[in-house]
Structure 1
Amino acid sequence: MHGKLLPLAGLYLVQGLPYGLQSGLLPVLLRARGLSLTRVGLAKVLYLPWLFKLVWAPLVDTRGSLRAWLMLSTAALGLVCGLLAASPPAEAGPAGLPVSVVGLLLLLNLGAAVQDVALDTLAVQLLEPAELGPGNTVQVVAYKLGAVLAGGGLLALVPTLSWPGLFLLLAATYWLAAALVWAAPALQQPPSSGPSEPALHSLCFPQQLLAMPGTLWTAGFVLTYKLGEQGASSLFPLLLLDHGISTPELGLWNGVGAVLCSIVGSSLGGALLARHRQPVPLLRSVLGFRLGGLACQTTLLFHLDTPGVRLGSSTVLRGAALLSLCVQHFLGGLVTTTTFTLMMHCSRLAPSALQATHYSLLATLELLGKLFLGTLAGALADSLGPHLCFALFLALSGMPILFLSLAPSTLA
């Protein structure tokens, strides 16, 4: 199993770099420049290529080998990073990012999304049922570690290391990963996806995918399970910035500390699943804890808006605010690993020729659910106010708990 997990870990780590760059670094820099919460939230439009994975998922099923798709997409990511090295942030005006950087970031997400389809397909076909728990732990932990390195790590290094140096370092990392794809024994002869015709039909008739056992319920669950959490996690750090937390401190706690807690939560989820815990009962327990944590965070936010209350440098309130970031990311990591395991269980019920397209459908819906409120959170806060906005997030976080009671027997 280690021969499978180590190359998967390396590839998922480099796949997390674009997410960390755009979720940990860009929002803080844009907010520090004075952009509104609405405009900061709209920067998540850069993730748009991830929503079209179903367009090329059938091609991964039917054209070429998984090894070739992985190697070419990873090398292409290195090329885009090399081009970003030639576009330093000095070109950006006070309104945001230059058009050239926006275009290259869209290409970076496109390459990462193509790589994701091939890599997830490989994981689904390579891992045995008993290996899904550890495999998804490696997937989530490595991805988030890449996000930490490119998010909080870049935020800490930008003042001392030049923008070209940072992106040349990222380019070298991607090219090393492409060499790993070429050399790793576990990837030399990846599993065949089987006949191509069903995968091509699935592009024209997605209802065939939804008709497979447990797929419709799983699709509904992954669309809703992150709505409240993602809205709160997108907005709460920016509100702390407004209440006196410095940019470097927020980068440390939200870009590094909180994500490390998320990695710990993901690892715990994998350990529990490896002990033959079923995903659905585990999710029911963890989602309850997450709801309680969000209720505490909402209460804290209400208190921060009391006249005269300020996040001083050594107050208990400041410690509670930063601790709440870590706790919610810990619980979010546990939820994510368990949910991805549930998704892989569902995709393994599909014919092997459709597994890339099937898992891409679920992963696209999962991302759509996360991006929906993550993108609109700033606009909701600007129009409704933070209090009403967080009350909405709290209500949405209770929905997945009710949804779990409808889980089909094939997955429960």
Structure 2
Amino acid sequence: MNSRLRVITALYVTQFLGYGFITIGLVSILRAGGTSLDTLALLSLIGLIWPVKFLWAPILDRYGPRRGGHYRGWLLVLQSGMVLALLALLATDPASGRIGPIAAICAAFIFFSATQDIAADAVAVRLLGDAERGTGNGIQVAASYLGNILGGGACVVAYDQFGWPVAVGLLAGLTAIGLLVVWRFREPERIDRPAATRHAYAALLTVLTQPGCRRWALGVVPLLYAGAGATYALVSPALVDAGWSLTRIGAVTGLVTSGPAVLAGLAAGGLVNRIGRAGVLATGGVALAAATLLLVPVLAGRGGLGLAGPVLCCFMAAYAVANVALYTVNMDYSRPGTGGTDFTVLASIGLICSYAASAVGLAAAARVGYPAVAVAATALILGGVALGVRHQRRHRPDSGGPNRPPVSAPTVVKQPA
């Protein structure tokens, strides 16, 4: 189990290093250099590559090298692409004001990292049995926040102290660690024969035909992600309206809140086997709803840092716990032969709902105010929790629901030169 988790940890942590740097750290660096908010908003659209990655997920399930591991071959290419994209940033200068080359390179990196996520999810589906999925998905959730800390925080400090080349070099070096782990990883042989391309794409829909999956993916997931997404979208604008500086907002929302989320994600992963998926979902969901209500004074411009900091920490920690439960059930519904496609489809539904709810929440806030939207979001979250707990009572793995053992235990070996 330790070897499996080492591989999964390396894949997810290195994946989110660059993502955290681009979405948090680079935004701060460019803003400090005088880049307009409108330009930064356009740069943020690069992140939309992630919700639509399901469009090419079947390709990774269908095609792959016959020797050395089906998904390992993809990971070697994609992890290398991530490192090369980051190294390409060395040829740019954020102080020059020329954002075009930086945006193009960042888009390439986001594409590589999103596609690497498909392969990493497929590997996790194959390697982790029912008893290990909670821990594996706890690592995945924690890794996303750890990426914010290292990529969005440590690399920004390196830039401030030593300059652009050192910051980018540090980022590329850390990402290259994942490439080394993949190189030493021996993937279990794929026994099943990859389906034809048309059948691989059919998995985009057939994943929803499994018992209870449609109710989960089109009911539980949208409610929870819509509630959380709508709430979080309000935070930065509300803090701006309250007179906070951009630096202060970035430090609190991107760095301070990530630490508790990392710990909460890891803890939730360990709790899945003890209290079950429903128990973790209820714990995280109820705490998320409570934190959303506690945010109402903050969104109304009251309380200051003394209230906003702790409440946002609670919100992100609870969101991490709920995400562990959501990802674990998504993995339960991911079939070994189409694991990349299945998990990506289910995860993308949540991302799309979160993006849509963010836009709707901001538009609604302009008409009814931030607090009213937060109260409505709380109702969505509690509705998702209730539906999710009911779903797990009928479809949990030990009641005949989705439950697939790992293919076989992998080994990490040193490859011959």
TM-score (norm 1): 0.84
SS in 2 for 1:74: helix
Q: Which amino acid aligns with 2:269?
A: G
Query: Match for 1:88 among 76, 90, 93?
Result: 93
Equivalent residues, number: 389
Q: Which amino acid aligns with 1:411?
A: R
1:279, distance to aligned residue in structure 2 (A): 0.9
1:72, distance to aligned residue in structure 2 (A): 0.8
CA-to-aligned-CA distance 1:258-297 (integer Å, 9 cap, x gap): 011111111221121132x221233123212211111110
Which residue is 1:308 aligned to?
none
CA-to-aligned-CA distance 1:328-349 (integer Å, 9 cap, x gap): 11111111111111111122xx
1:255, distance to aligned residue in structure 2 (A): 2.1
Distance in 1 between the 2:292 and 2:205 partners? 35
CA-to-aligned-CA distance 1:357-392 (integer Å, 9 cap, x gap): 211211221222233334565555556653444344
Identity of aligned residues (%): 24
Which residue is 1:340 aligned to?
327
CA RMSD of aligned residues (A): 2.8
Which residue is 1:128 aligned to?
129
Which residue is 2:293 aligned to?
295
Distance in 2 between the 1:58 and 1:378 partners? 34
8 Å contact kept, 2:18–2:171: no
1:191, distance to aligned residue in structure 2 (A): 4.2
1:29, distance to aligned residue in structure 2 (A): 6.1
8 Å contact kept, 1:41–1:378: no
Structure 2 vs 1, CA of residues 170 and 121 (structure 1 numbering), >3 Å: closer, same or farther? same
8 Å contact kept, 2:155–2:171: no
Structure 2 vs 1, CA of residues 243 and 169 (structure 1 numbering), >3 Å: closer, same or farther? same
Structure 2 vs 1, CA of residues 12 and 227 (structure 1 numbering), >3 Å: closer, same or farther? same
Distance in 2 between the 1:193 and 1:263 partners? 36
Distance in 2 between the 1:243 and 1:35 partners? 21
Farther-moved stretch of structure 1 (159-168 vs 374-383)? 374-383
Structure 2 vs 1, CA of residues 111 and 331 (structure 1 numbering), >3 Å: closer, same or farther? same
Q: Which amino acid aligns with 1:62?
A: R
SS in 2 for 1:9: helix
SS in 1 for 2:188: coil
Structure 2 vs 1, CA of residues 159 and 239 (structure 1 numbering), >3 Å: closer, same or farther? farther
1:399, distance to aligned residue in structure 2 (A): 3.3
Which residue is 2:214 aligned to?
216
Which residue is 1:153 aligned to?
154
8 Å contact kept, 1:293–1:327: yes
Query: Match for 2:383 among 399, 402, 405?
Result: 399
Q: Which amino acid aligns with 2:53?
A: K
SS in 2 for 1:213: coil
Distance in 2 between the 1:197 and 1:361 partners? 18
The equivalences for 1:300-311 within 5 A come to 300-304=298-302
Which residue is 1:281 aligned to?
279
The equivalences for 1:22-37 within 5 A come to 22-25=22-25
Which residue is 1:411 aligned to?
396
Distance in 1 between the 2:51 and 2:110 partners? 10
Q: Which residues of structure 2 form unaligned runs of 5+? A: 65-69, 398-417
SS in 1 for 2:162: coil
1:9, distance to aligned residue in structure 2 (A): 0.7
Which residue is 1:177 aligned to?
178
1:328 paired with 2:287, answer no
Distance in 2 between the 1:101 and 1:50 partners? 18
Distance in 2 between the 1:384 and 1:28 partners? 31
The equivalences for 1:6-405 within 5 A come to 6-25=6-25, 43-64=43-64, 65-92=70-97, 98-183=99-184, 187-192=185-190, 194-197=192-195, 200-204=198-202, 206-220=204-218, 221-275=220-274, 277-304=275-302, 317-347=304-334, 350=335, 352-374=336-358, 381=365, 385-404=369-388
1:398, distance to aligned residue in structure 2 (A): 3.4
Q: Which amino acid aligns with 2:229?
A: Q
Q: Which residues of structure 1 form unaligned runs of 5+? A: 305-315
Distance in 2 between the 1:199 and 1:358 partners? 15
Structure 2 vs 1, CA of residues 47 and 162 (structure 1 numbering), >3 Å: closer, same or farther? same
Structure 2 vs 1, CA of residues 82 and 393 (structure 1 numbering), >3 Å: closer, same or farther? same
Structure 2 vs 1, CA of residues 247 and 389 (structure 1 numbering), >3 Å: closer, same or farther? same
Distance in 1 between the 2:167 and 2:332 partners? 38
SS in 2 for 1:170: helix
